[in-house]
Amino acid sequence: MRDINELQTIEHDVLVVGAGGAGLRAAIEASRLGLSTGVIMKSLLGKAHTVMAEGGMAAALGNVDDRDNWKVHFRDTMRGGKFLNVWRMAEIHAKDAPERVRELEDWGAVFDRTRDGLINQRNFGGHRFPRLAHVGDRTGLELIRTLQDAGVHNGIDFHMECIGVDLALDGGRVAGMLAYWRDTGRFVLFKAPAVIFATGGAGKAWRVTSNSWEYTGDGFGMAYRAGAELMDMEFNQFHPTGMVWPPSVRGTLVTEGVRGEGGILKNSEGVRFMFDNIPERFAAETADSVEEAARWLEGDRDARRPPELLTRDVVARAIRKEVKEGRGSPHGGAFLDIATQQPADFIKRKLPSMYHQFKELAEVDITAEPMEVGPTLHYYMGGIRVDAITQMTNVPGLFAAGECGTGLHGANRLGGNSLSDLIVFGARAGQGAKQYLDSLSGTPQPQGDHVNDLIDEVVGFLNREEGENPYVVVDDLQVAMEEHVGIVREGRELEEGIEKLAGLVERAKRVKAHPSSQYNPGWNTCIDLRNLLVSAEATARSALSRQESRGAHTRLDFEGEREDQLKYNNVVVQASDGSMDLRQEARPEPPEELARIAHASIEDLEANRV
Amino acid sequence: MSERHFRVWRGDSEGGEFVDYTIDVEPGMVVLDCIHRIQAQHAEDLACRWNCKAGKCGSCSMEINGKPKLSCMTRMNTFGPDETITIQPMKTFPVVRDLVSDVSFNYRQNARIRPLKPRPRGKDGEHRMYQEDVDRVQEFRKCIECFLCQDVCHVLRDQDAMERFTGPRFMIRLASLEMHPLDTDDRVPEIRDEFGSGLCNITRCCTEVCPEHIGITDNAIIPLKERVVDRYYDPLMWLMRKITGRK
Ligand SMILES: Cc1cc2nc3c(=O)[nH]c(=O)nc-3n(C[C@H](O)[C@H](O)[C@H](O)COP(=O)(O)OP(=O)(O)OC[C@H]3O[C@@H](n4cnc5c(N)ncnc54)[C@H](O)[C@@H]3O)c2cc1C
Ligand code: SF4
Ligand code: SF4
Ligand code: FES
């Protein structure tokens, strides 16, 4: 038995797991509140998913349309989320976002400007007014670099390429985390009474995804094993526009900004099919003719928004339908055309990285030809359940923020609401950790036996004589998820999928990596696979439990939203025997004042009558 | 589908060698896809960095047939049909393992640069900046920190100079602060004395490899050198700028 006192040990008041927007913002907050703060991340600093975000971050600054305010943003978020959002979180988000965005400017961010020299804002799906602060189509880069540079000067310790394995607990409270350095494979024990998860989603459970190798649901898996609750895991956002060709980039994102700047969707017959796919709830606020859509693009404030800017779930399903019914593009998608809608220099200025991406990767000039696009798994609306105000989970000392948390987006996330989520709830998680530590009695300590068990489990992958290649198991998992837990779901298929997952869980215990632990992606994959499987199983079970179609969750056998299904959330926990438990938990009644705003007519809201 | 040959450097800080691999390649594939295929079929422990696969994160830098490039943006059809593709890690930095190099030098440089010191916000609580005044700064802020420019800069290839020159990536970072409309700090002395602007001799190799097409030399380094010259050798010009308030 090894002595854990001989492990490398690093102590912090707060350990942040993840260096995307949420993790960095949380770390900055914690550090400014005087806490010793460390951040670990799987890649180098500045490479997290957040860097890839393109379109922008939503905040009701009202710089472009002064009719915007937090109430309209809140209402849009609730409607987009099909009212399954945690009401308080949607409120806090809409209220806090403008100040969180403005403060980025003090830290060096340089957003695109309006004519008056203010932060410019663009249109995006589901947002009533131009609301997304942006920098061309590289907003995420601006956000992560700004936070990274601010973080470096706030006394935060960044531990790069350091991967968390599991939480260390002391009597149910967080005591720290076991992690390993990617370059050497050596273990390190972080002692920290507060840990903030900002680990992003689990898109890698599917084959066609906009997510990178990092997104294996580590936060979900680690939180679950520590006793935390996973909520609303059935809500997985398929972004309508991923690249479909060439095969090696299938799934790579095409920003919604293309449609925000005027791009239209057509099928192989040249029909703008979104006009035939307008849901009743949005009919009153959506253009019903090409002519009206064109007027909107020209800035006519009385014209309604084009149907291409309906929420992502609606657009993704419509594209899938066109393809299924034989009206798809040559490589099985739809045509996204901005070339006929905007002049070439406008496209290059507003969407430079899309121009570049298609030119380099697909040899398509988007200023002259349409793009081929199709749905790609993009985002986890569900995740680790937290308190709306402090971001603490049910495990004392464990916090979660950003994509790995849940509550803000309900059944469907609006574009641009993630980047604002990161900075709003990242900051709040930092404050939550401070509050918790101020009232904490004693310092929880990692337990030797537990830490030893954790090490044994992952070292096992290196030491065994025989075992399966982990990449093959990941591959099979991705195929199973595409087939059984895809964009459109059905009871029998889900049940079969859950069975397949059980088989994969068994195989994953016996995988084997090349025996060197140094910078060994095979070994990393063995470790990640445990978390990927927790995420996949929680998703499939929750999807089976929700017997309706709402937002991003579509059931062929239960069409349409059902009132009774709005009354609960699916909550997944680990049972004492290690199996997965799911319960349907009643949702509290919405605060009356918020319900009034969410259901108000847009005219009343604009006139400030609510 | 066609069969293609690769020579990939395998090893660590102690040394290493090129190893040959042959795999099938389909249309549309980029070099990074090929590395993944080699991993999946022949060398599960082949180490390389990547994240976005779309030229946005700057993780996958390496030298491909001797040229510093992003492997995720290097399409296979840019090579001759029978050409063997040689892949190795960036040369300027110490190797960690296989295609992964130790780029911590760059993070140390960034930590040395003082943060923005913004002027106060206006009475309405807003910062006003006009698009034409931020265009330059936005160009520099496109940098994805791939460090290819650092890799190719001959000044940095000389170990001693690494102590005295911060490299092109951080010259543009300094320029983005020096030219930032909100910044009130005086950065010119340290640009010369601590970050070594004088060591760059304008070969433009950095600009040539930048995947973001940032005008590193012409738009950042040369203007910074001019500001240094103004300050130390043409104080009148410097005074003029101070009076007119142009950043
Ligand atoms: C291509 C693309 C475009 C997008 N565009 C937009 C947009 O325009 N607007 C918008 O609002 N949203 C957008 N999104 C969504 C948004 O970018 C993400 O949801 C958001 O960035 C997630 O941020 P995060 O801070 O929660 O985590 P991430 O940025 O995903 O970072 C997760 C961090 O956790 C670390 N981590 C994970 N597991 C571990 C572990 N075990 N140990 C240590 N570290 C770990 C990772 O290394 C990483 O540093 C886009 C997403 C993609 C992929
Ligand atoms: S122009 Fe200057 S910074 Fe760029 S490569 Fe040449 S010497 Fe290095
Ligand atoms: S300036 Fe260009 S080459 Fe240098 S690190 Fe930035 S993106 Fe890469
Ligand atoms: S993987 Fe992100 S730039 Fe190549």
Report angle CA A156, A161, A163 to the nearest 5 degrees.
Answer: 95
Output the pLDDT for position A534: 98
pLDDT in tens, A245-284: 888 889 999 998 899 899 999 999 999 999 999 998 889 9
Average pLDDT over residues A509-536: 92
Output the pLDDT for position A5: 81
CA distance B69 to B62: 6
Average pLDDT over residues A345-350: 93
Residue A114 confidence (pLDDT) above 80: yes
Residues of chain A with C-beta less than 8 angstroms from the C-beta of B101 = none
CA distance A108 to A147: 9
CATH number of the CATH domain containing B226: 1.10.1060.10
CA distance A384 to A392: 10
CA distance A271 to A314: 17
In single-letter form, the type of residue at position B116 comes to: L
Strands (E), A60-193: 121-122, 132-133, 157-159, 162-170, 173-181, 187-191
Residue B36 confidence (pLDDT) above 80: yes
Note whether B68 and B209 are within 8 A (CB). Answer: yes
| Same domain membership, residue B222 and residue B144 | yes
| Same domain membership, residue B117 and residue B233 | yes
CB spacing of B45 vs A520 below 8 angstroms:
yes
Output the pLDDT for position B144: 97
CA distance A378 to A209: 6
CATH number, domain A465-569: 1.20.58.100
| Same domain membership, residue B118 and residue B59 | no
Residue A240: DSSP 8-state = E
Closest CA to B18 of B102, B101, B98, B100: B98
Tell me the sheet residues that pair with A371.
A336
pLDDT band at A6 (very low <50, low <70, confident <90, very high): confident
Chain B residue with the nearest C-alpha to that of A158: B107
Report the percent of chain A where pLDDT is more than 70.
100
Q: Respond yes or no on whether the N-terminal peptide bond of residue A521 is cis (omega within 30° of 0).
A: no
Say whether A465-569 and A243-374 share the same fold. Answer: no
Q: Say if residue B11 is exposed, middle or buried (CB neighbours under 10 Å; 0-12, 13-18, 19+).
A: middle
SS3 (DSSP) at A211:
coil
CA distances for A262 relative to A124, A155, A295, A301, A338, angstroms: 10, 44, 11, 15, 6
| Same domain membership, residue B207 and residue B146 | yes
Output the pLDDT for position B121: 95
Q: What is the CA radius of gyration of chain A?
A: 23
Expressed in angstroms and rounded, the spacing between residue B141 Cα and the centre of ligand 3 is: 10
Residue B96: DSSP 8-state = E
Average pLDDT over residues A555-574: 95
Q: Say if residue A213 is exposed, middle or buried (CB neighbours under 10 Å; 0-12, 13-18, 19+).
A: middle
Pocket-forming residues, ligand 3, beta carbon under 6 Å: B 58, 143-149, 168-169, 172, 209-212, 214, 216
Output the pLDDT for position A154: 85
Query: In the sheet that A173-181 helps form, which strands lie side by side, from edge to edge?
Result: A8-11, A187-191, A173-181, A162-170
| Same domain membership, residue B122 and residue B81 | no
| Same domain membership, residue B109 and residue B90 | no
Closest CA to B175 of B232, B247, B109, B120: B247
Residue A43's CB is within 10 A of a number of other CB atoms, namely 22
Residue B44 confidence (pLDDT) above 90: no
CA distance A116 to A123: 18
| Same domain membership, residue B209 and residue B131 | yes
Residue B242 confidence (pLDDT) above 90: no
Residue B22 confidence (pLDDT) above 80: yes
CATH number of the CATH domain containing B41: 3.10.20.30
In single-letter form, the type of residue at position B141 comes to: R
Report angle CA A405, A410, A416 to the nearest 5 degrees.
Answer: 75
Q: Which helix H or strand E contains B208, and what residues bound it?
A: helix B205-209
| Same domain membership, residue B121 and residue B227 | yes
Which backbone phi and psi does A317 adopt, to 5 degrees? -65, -35
CA distance A221 to A206: 17
Output the pLDDT for position A500: 98
Report the percent of chain B where pLDDT is more than 90.
85
Q: Which of B52, B72, B101 is the last residue of a domain?
A: B101
A186 is a catalytic site residue: no
Residue A19 confidence (pLDDT) above 90: yes
pLDDT in tens, B80-125: 989 999 999 999 999 999 999 999 999 999 999 999 999 999 999 9
Structural domain total, chain B: 2
Task: Report the residue from A51, A145, A518 with minimal CB separation from B97.
Answer: A518
What is the CB-side half-sphere exposure of residue A474 using CA atoms within 13 A?
25
Output the pLDDT for position A125: 87
Residue A112 near chain B (CB below 8 Å): yes
Which tokens in the block code for residue B59?
């993780």
| Same domain membership, residue B122 and residue B69 | no
Please tell me the number of the ligand nearest to residue A532's CA.
Answer: 1
Task: Report the residue from A46, A214, A249 with minimal CB separation from B145.
Answer: A46
| Same domain membership, residue B137 and residue B52 | no
pLDDT band at B246 (very low <50, low <70, confident <90, very high): low
Q: Given A73, A100, A250, A259, which residue is catalytic?
A: A259
Q: Which of B60, B82, B101 is the last residue of a domain?
A: B101
Ligand 2 atom nearest to CA at B156: 8
Residue B245 confidence (pLDDT) above 70: no
Q: Where are the domains of chain A?
A: 243-374, 465-569
Does the CB atom of residue B217 touch ligand 2 within 6 A? yes
Options 3.40.50.2300, 3.90.700.10, 3.30.750.24, 3.40.50.300; CATH of A243-374:
3.90.700.10
pLDDT in tens, A360-403: 899 999 999 999 999 999 999 999 999 999 999 999 999 999 99
Q: Residue for token digits 């394995």?
A: A165
Range of the domain at B193: 104-244
Q: Which of B101, B116, B144 is the last residue of a domain?
A: B101
Average pLDDT over residues B32-59: 93
Expressed in angstroms and rounded, the spacing between residue A60 Cα and the centre of ligand 4 is: 32
| Same domain membership, residue B110 and residue B52 | no
Average pLDDT over residues A223-250: 95
CA distance A275 to A135: 30
Average pLDDT over residues A191-197: 98
Beta-strand pair A371-380/A187-191: unpaired
Output the pLDDT for position A1: 59
Beta-strand pair A173-181/A187-191: antiparallel
| Same domain membership, residue B133 and residue B31 | no
Residues of chain B with C-beta less than 8 angstroms from the C-beta of A212 = 50-53, 57
Residues of chain B with C-beta less than 8 angstroms from the C-beta of A162 = none
What is the overall mean pLDDT for chain B? 93
State the DSSP string of A526-566.
HHHHHHHHHHHHHHHHHHHH--S-BTTB-BTTB-S--GGGG
Q: Taking the alpha carbons of A380, A412, A339, A53 in that order, is the dihedral positive or negative?
A: negative
Please tell me the number of the ligand nearest to residue A49's CA.
Answer: 1
A507 is a catalytic site residue: no
Beta-strand pair A162-170/A132-133: unpaired
Residue A55: DSSP 8-state = S
Which tokens in the block code for residue A43?
């890649």
Residue B236 confidence (pLDDT) above 80: no
Does the CB atom of residue B68 touch ligand 2 within 6 A? no
Note whether A437 and A392 are within 8 A (CB). Answer: no
CA distances for A590 relative to A384, A393, A567, A587, A596, angstroms: 21, 21, 11, 9, 10
For ligand 2, pick from B149, B200, B210 the residue to mutate: most ligand atoms within 8 Å of CB.
Answer: B200
In single-letter form, the type of residue at position A48 comes to: A
Residue A541 confidence (pLDDT) above 70: yes
CA torsion, points A264, A265, A266, A272, in degrees to nearest 10?
-70
Residue A369 near chain B (CB below 8 Å): no
Residue A608 confidence (pLDDT) above 90: no
Residues of chain B with C-beta less than 8 angstroms from the C-beta of A113 = 129-131, 134
Which tokens in the block code for residue A242?
């991923």
CA distance, residue B233 to nearest chain A CA (Å): 30
Closest CA to A365 of A388, A348, A381, A383: A348
In single-letter form, the type of residue at position A145 comes to: R
Q: Number of H helices and number of E strands within chain A?
A: 18, 20
